[in-house]
């Protein structure tokens, strides 16, 4: 089953709930979300959902560093 990118961004990053609407901010944050999603998808050492991995990166600086540097 192929899951669409807009669905992943909405569920994993709550993109539809974003209140950022001014100037270029929505597009800039969309780029940052895509980069974060790609980093999370590439990281295979820990199994789990995209949302769970994103939360873990917010809680654990070592895991965040691992995501960003690998």
Asked if residues 15 and 9 have their Cβ atoms less than 8 Å apart, the reply is yes
61/11 Cα distance (integer angstroms)? 23
Sign for the CA dihedral angle at 65, 58, 56, 29 comes to negative
Domain region containing 29? 5-69
Q: How many domains does the chain have?
A: 1
Query: What does the pLDDT profile of the chain (70 residues) look like in tens digits?
Result: 556 777 777 777 777 777 888 888 888 888 888 888 889 989 888 888 888 898 999 999 999 999 999 7
Biggest CA-to-CA distance, the chain: 38
What whole-number distance in Å separates Cα of residue 58 and Cα of residue 47? 16
């Amino acid at each position: 089953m192929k899951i669409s990118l807009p669905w992943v961004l909405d569920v994993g990053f709550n993109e539809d709930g974003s209140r950022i609407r001014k100037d270029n901010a929505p597009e800039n944050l969309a780029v940052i979300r895509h980069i974060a999603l790609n980093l999370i998808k590439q990281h295979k050492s820990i199994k789990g959902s995209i949302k769970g991995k994103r939360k873990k990166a917010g809680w654990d600086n070592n895991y965040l560093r691992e995501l960003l540097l690998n």
